[in-house]
Amino acid sequence: MRITLYAATLLLVVPAATAQLNVWARIAGKQYFGSATDNYELADKPYFKQLSNTLDFAQITPSNSMKWFATEPERGNFTFAGGEEIVAFAKKNRQLVRGHTCVWHSQLAPWVEAGNFDNATLSTIVRDHSYNLVRNFRGDFTHDKSTGMSSTAFNEDGTFRETVFYKTIGPSYIDIAFHAARKADPKAKLYINDYNIDGLGPKSTGVINLVKQLKKNKVPIDGIGVQGHLIVGHVPTTIKENLQAFADLGVDVAITELDIRMTLPVTPELLEQQKKDYQTVIAACRAVKKCIGVTIWDWTDKYSWVPGVFDGEGAALPWDEDLKKKPAYDGIVDGFTKL
Ligand SMILES: *[C@@H]1O[C@H](CO)[C@@H](O)[C@H](O)[C@H]1NC(C)=O
Ligand SMILES: *[C@@H]1O[C@H](CO)[C@@H](O)[C@H](O)[C@H]1NC(C)=O
């Protein structure tokens, strides 16, 4: 009852014109609502303007320019200019930055696998990469100071993915990366980030067991990033329970890469379902106190990664290719506001 009154009071004091995504996220007690972006997109003026709008977006994640291929294309040669451009954009707008990402088997610099390094050498490489990346951006992962550490470490059945890191080093490659990142920026919050861990299931259980293990071994882990790459009409029904199970481990939780794709062509029915699906995901984060914020994986269908990766699918974001709001936008607002 108290909650009802509180929300009702806030509804009265927030004029409709400012009822935008980050405004509602903050009212719901979250730290931010944000979007991913990529460097080349910033040359698009209308895109740039909307991304700078802190009423919708108070947080930015570089979608590519902090990945390994972009930051250490040759061993020991670190190139941070792309990431720095995104950080400068965010700082100018007083937006938070989530780093992305220290260790991931995909979009890796080819030399890391081609080198056939032994355990000790690859361990040093993982340590140096994580340290140098986070050290360069020390203090830039502002306010909530979040950085994705290790992405997609698991198979669907909850076993470790047989990446070059796992095969050569074993599961302790994750420990190595986290320790190095903590040393590089003691204030940055360190997350493990994976996909298809949105609802309860074996992969989510794998993450829970890993986090328990990391904590037991005194590996510094602060949060779990739930990517949220979802499909219209197939949003797991156990998102809230799953986020709560993560939070119950004593870590923060964030939805880090949300998009909800559909099989094309777009129809009014699919857009309505997508609106409901966005509402479901946002409401789940809202309901879990330690779910600190939500990031969409870019905000307009114009720059979504989906059509390039999933044949015949797309239209996954709350704005269409012409930068016009879709029903999904209102679905997000509903998720933050509807009781
Ligand atoms: C770094 O890159 C420069 C220019 O491409 C090259 O001359 C140098 O040998 C590289 N250093 C290492 C350690 O790979
Ligand atoms: C790699 O080396 C570490 C440290 O010596 C060891 O604990 C681990 O088991 C090794 N991994 C593999 C796959 O042999």
CA of 170 relative to ligand 2 center, distance in Å:
6
The pLDDT, as a whole number, for residue 104 is 86
pTM for this model (two decimals): 0.91
Residue 6 is predicted with a pLDDT of 38
CB atoms within 10 A of CB 268: 8
DSSP assignment, residue 84?
Answer: H
Predicted pLDDT at 19: 73
Residue 216, Ramachandran bin (φ over 0: left; ψ between -120 and 50: alpha; else beta): alpha
Backbone phi, psi, residue 336, to 5°: -80, -20
Question: Burial level of 50, CB count in 10 A (0-12/13-18/19+)?
Answer: middle
Ligand 1 closest atom vs CA 77:
1
C-alpha torsion sign, points 136, 141, 145, 149: negative
In ligand 1, which atom is closest to the CA atom of 76? 13
Calculated CA dihedral for residues 72, 78, 79, 80, nearest 10 degrees: 100
* 36 beta partners: 61
Peptide bond connecting 327 to the previous residue in cis, omega within 30 degrees of 0: no
Query: Kind and range of the H or E element at 296?
Result: strand 291-296
**Predicted local distance difference test score (pLDDT) of residue 106:** 85
Nearest-CA residue for ligand 1 atom 7 is 77
What DSSP assignment string belongs to 313-329?
EE--SSB-TTSPBPHHH
pLDDT, one tens digit per residue, over 267-310 is 999 999 999 999 999 999 999 999 999 999 999 999 999 999 99
Ligand number with the minimum distance to the CA of 162? 2
Compute the mean pLDDT over every residue in the chain, rounded to the nearest whole number: 91
Residue of 116, 167, 169 with the most ligand 2 atoms within 8 Å of its CB, for mutation: 169
How far, in Å, is the centroid of ligand 2 from the Cα of 212? Answer: 20
Which residue minimizes the CA distance to atom 9 of ligand 2?
170
d(CA 86, CA 93): 11
How many other CB atoms sit within 10 Å of the CB of residue 257?
24
Strand positions, DSSP E, 105-210 = 146-151, 189-194
- The closest alpha carbon to 80, from 89, 71, 88, belongs to 71
Catalytic residues: 257
Ligand nearest to the CA of 75: 1
pLDDT for 302: 98
The answer to whether the bond into 61 is cis (omega within 30° of 0) is no
CB 82 within 8 A of CB 65: yes
* pLDDT tens profile 80-113: 999 999 999 999 999 999 999 899 888 999 999 9
Q: What distance in angstroms lies between residue 174's CA and the mean position of ligand 2's atoms?
A: 12
pLDDT at 160: 86
For the domain covering 32-337, report its CATH number.
3.20.20.80
**203 close to 210: Cβ distance less than 8 angstroms:** no
φ and ψ of 177, to 5 deg: -65, -45
Per-residue pLDDT of the chain (339 residues; tens, 9 = 90+): 333 333 444 444 555 555 799 999 999 999 999 999 999 999 999 999 999 999 999 999 999 999 999 999 999 999 999 999 999 999 999 999 999 989 988 899 999 999 999 999 999 999 999 999 999 999 876 444 455 555 666 787 878 888 999 999 999 999 999 999 999 998 889 999 999 999 999 999 999 999 999 999 999 999 999 999 999 999 999 999 999 999 999 999 999 999 999 999 999 999 999 999 999 999 999 999 999 999 999 999 999 999 999 999 999 999 999 999 999 999 999 999 987
- 96 three-class SS: strand
**What is the C-alpha separation between 253 and 263, in angstroms, rounded?**
29
Task: Name every protein residue with a CB atom under 6 angstroms from any ligand 2 atom.
Answer: 119, 169-170, 172
